[in-house]
């Protein structure tokens, strides 16, 4: 009896329909296991768990069902090929999600050419052996066919059955969406979080929706018109924050250094390993009486990571929900960025980066932002030992950048982007002089070592500024661009924070990054004001005495008494001094206690959510529609991108001419002599 039953089952799988259903079952089972083990989708309750289990089925029937329209061996080959392509998509998302807690988008895929260099080492660190489980079903199916456990059915498969399966898949998709929408109303119209779409609808449906969104966004610019600015101007007028008279103009005319602390999180400040401070020099800078330090300052980046941070910092515009605004729109859009604003107030503007100029499309974007000079890796002498991970080691980079900084006519605005403290936190033995943490997580443990190296590099650069006299005439701004340790390392994060475990509240607070403003004579202190990267530009402009009454900036001055302390995250979550919202869960910010909001709290939370959603949506409209081409604030001139070249020979020639016209550089102040003898570094590569 049992053998007869097995024989019937085997005979069924020897049919075309039987093999097709086997492929679908194995694929869906594999996908569900991956959902549960490789992603953090937060499925709660019976309905969400049910949808998570069944959401691979409709797309599997539709895509794999294509093979049923073909005959013979070709049909079987097509099933395996489609399964393989689907598995590559799943595998790629597993790897990407591990580091970025998000799914691949068309924007990221399209922009990968701009960020592909130096990614090899990162990928090798991210990929786990168990990730190849994504291909296990294909291996099993091929073996079943090779050893003829299952035989190919050469008989024709009726087209009406193939059509019926395709129709069934579409019906199931509609039904699935209906159920999902009952659990989360407006799933595809009011969400900024891709986890929701994958949780409710599936990876394939997410890909299709993302492709539709990308197409829709690309068409937005051609349909945009000047009147689209009306709602944005009205919103900003109602939400502006007046400058604090105590600080407005206090740093007027000073040089501005923006030091970009790569992947540097707030918890590193005053953090110790084996009794040793990870960042002793940054700790001292943070606590200096002339440093304004903000201990409730959050990064607000999404898939664009560093590029999102730069977009917010220098434009007070949010990054996009998918992809990188710098990569997709940086070279073509109109902007009113910090370099252009300061250029029109008599500043020399320059950016410094120890990697190739195309990384994150900087060579094109910086022209749109109005940077007069961009000193990328093309400007520096290099040897293999000078580089690690994503570019030049910080100690060497700072020293080489100083050679060009000394030539900049003052006042200048200079942004220096560090690189060594970048995932996967590589550092050669000769530069390691600090113990790693012992969480057992190979990704996390070396993080403090590269952070310590960055701290030493910063100290050397600061010492140079003091010896040359630049320090006393400069405002020095430091900020962490985004997390260094993603939320997918929960056990290790718990150990770092000396906790048994961490919840969503802990992870939200873990997104804090440093923000410091320092200048001799500035009234400093540690401020507990809540804010984020979107607020940097208006804060700096007010300190420099530049009014921004008519600009398009979604942040507000952190020093203003009217500053908006609602911190919006790109996925629609938020933090305020009172509430922290993560997904559908709300916590009291002061205590971290999860609450079920009462009627009054619901009203308050709904108002905050409406503000966050409105602000993100309006900022997106500005970028998607290139709306700033229709609006020029009084006193501002649109950037002429053709006026800039970053080719080294021409760039240095332009710098020489600028010095001849305005001999105000620190080198000029030193009787035309180089100040590089003041720069001291212990970088072993330079000895």
Of 636, 634, 638, the C-alpha closest to 626 is 638
- Among 31, 63, 306, 420, the one annotated catalytic: 306
**Cα 68 off chain centre by:** 41
Query: Any bridge partners for residue 675, and if so which?
Result: none
Q: H helices within 129-187, ranges in order? A: 136-146, 159-183
CB burial string 112-131: b at 16+ within 10 A, e below: eebbeebeeebeebbeeeeb
Q: How many Å apart are CA 506 and CA 487, to the nearest integer?
A: 10
Q: How many Å apart are CA 372 and CA 655, to the nearest integer?
A: 9
Compute CA distances 511 → 201, 324, 333, whole Å.
28, 20, 30
CB neighbours (10 Å) of residue 265? 23
Report residue 574: phi and psi, to 5°.
Answer: -155, 165
CA dihedral 104, 535, 423, 493 (to 10 degrees): -90
519 and 251 in contact (C-beta within 8 Å)? yes
423 and 390 in contact (C-beta within 8 Å)? no
Burial of 284 (0-12, 13-18, 19+ CB in 10 A): middle
Mark whether 420 is an active-site residue: no
Compute CA distances 523 → 6, 74, 96, 255, 515, whole Å.
82, 75, 43, 18, 15
Burial of 288 (0-12, 13-18, 19+ CB in 10 A): middle
CB burial string 631-666: b at 16+ within 10 A, e below: beeeeeeebebeebbbeeeebeebbeebbeeeebbb
Catalytic residue positions, numbered: 306
């Amino acid at each position: 009896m049992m053998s007869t039953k097995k024989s019937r089952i085997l005979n069924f799988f020897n049919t075309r329909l039987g093999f097709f259903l086997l492929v679908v079952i194995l694929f869906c089972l594999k996908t569900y296991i991956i959902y549960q083990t490789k992603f953090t989708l937060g499925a709660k309750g019976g309905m969400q768990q049910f949808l998570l289990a069944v959401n691979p089925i409709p797309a599997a029937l539709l895509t794999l069902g294509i093979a049923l329209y073909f005959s013979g061996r070709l049909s079987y080959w097509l099933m395996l090929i489609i399964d393989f392509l689907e598995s590559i998509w799943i595998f790629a998302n597993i790897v990407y999600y591990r580091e970025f807690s998000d799914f691949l988008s068309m924007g990221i895929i399209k922009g990968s050419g701009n960020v592909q260099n130096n990614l090899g080492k990162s990928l090798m660190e991210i990929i786990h052996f168990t990730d190849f489980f994504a291909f296990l079903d294909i291996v099993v199916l091929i073996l079943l066919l090779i050893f003829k456990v299952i035989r190919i059915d050469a008989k024709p498969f009726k087209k009406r059955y193939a059509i019926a399966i395709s129709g069934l898949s579409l019906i199931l998709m509609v039904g699935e969406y209906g159920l999902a929408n009952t659990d989360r109303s407006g799933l595809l119209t009011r969400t900024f979080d891709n986890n929701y779409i994958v949780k409710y609808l599936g990876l394939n449906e997410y890909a299709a929706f993302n492709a539709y969104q990308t197409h829709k966004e690309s068409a937005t610019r051609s349909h945009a018109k000047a009147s689209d600015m009306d709602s944005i101007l009205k919103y900003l007028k109602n939400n502006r924050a007046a400058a604090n008279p105590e600080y407005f103009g206090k740093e007027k005319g000073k040089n501005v250094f923006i030091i970009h602390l790569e992947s540097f999180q707030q918890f590193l400040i005053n953090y110790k390993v084996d009794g040793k401070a990870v960042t002793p020099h940054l700790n001292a800078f943070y606590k200096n009486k002339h440093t304004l330090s903000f201990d409730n300052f959050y990064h607000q980046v999404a898939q664009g990571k560093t590029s999102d941070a730069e977009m917010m910092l220098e434009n007070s515009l949010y990054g996009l929900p998918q992809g990188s605004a710098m990569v997709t729109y940086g070279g073509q859009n109109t902007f009113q960025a910090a370099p252009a604003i300061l250029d029109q107030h008599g500043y020399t503007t320059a950016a410094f980066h120890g990697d190739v100029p195309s990384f994150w499309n900087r060579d094109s974007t910086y022209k749109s932002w109005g940077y007069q000079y961009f000193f990328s890796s093309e400007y520096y002498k290099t040897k293999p030992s000078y580089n690690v991970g994503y570019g030049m080691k910080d100690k060497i980079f700072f020293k080489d950048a100083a050679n060009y900084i000394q030539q900049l006519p003052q006042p200048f605005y200079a942004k220096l982007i560090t690189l060594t403290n970048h995932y996967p936190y590589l550092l050669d033995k000769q530069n390691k002089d600090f113990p790693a943490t012992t969480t057992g997580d190979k990704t996390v443990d070396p993080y403090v070592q590269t952070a310590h190296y960055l701290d030493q590099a910063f100290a050397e650069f600061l010492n140079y500024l003091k010896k040359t006299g630049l320090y006393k005439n400069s405002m020095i701004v430091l900020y962490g661009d985004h997390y260094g340790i993603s939320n997918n390392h929960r056990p290790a994060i718990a150990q770092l924070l000396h906790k048994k475990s961490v919840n969503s509240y802990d992870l939200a607070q873990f997104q804090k990054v440093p923000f410091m403003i320092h200048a001799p004579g500035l009234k400093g202190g540690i401020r507990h004001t809540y804010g984020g990267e979107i607020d940097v530009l208006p804060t700096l402009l007010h300190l420099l005495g530049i009014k921004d009454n008519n600009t398009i900036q979604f942040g507000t001055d952190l020093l203003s008494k009217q500053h908006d302390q609602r911190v919006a995250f790109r996925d629609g979550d938020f933090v305020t001094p009172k509430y922290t919202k993560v997904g559908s869960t709300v916590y009291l910010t002061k205590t971290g206690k999860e609450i079920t909001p009462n009627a009054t709290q619901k009203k308050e939370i709904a108002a905050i959510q409406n503000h966050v959603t409105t602000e993100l949506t309006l900022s997106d409209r500005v970028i998607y529609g290139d709306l700033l081409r229709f609006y020029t604030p009084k006193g501002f001139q649109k950037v002429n991108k053709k006026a800039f070249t970053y080719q080294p020979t021409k760039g240095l020639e332009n710098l020489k001419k600028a010095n001849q016209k305005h001999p105000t550089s620190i080198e000029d102040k030193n009787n035309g002599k180089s100040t590089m003898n003041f720069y001291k570094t212990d970088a072993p590569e330079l000895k």
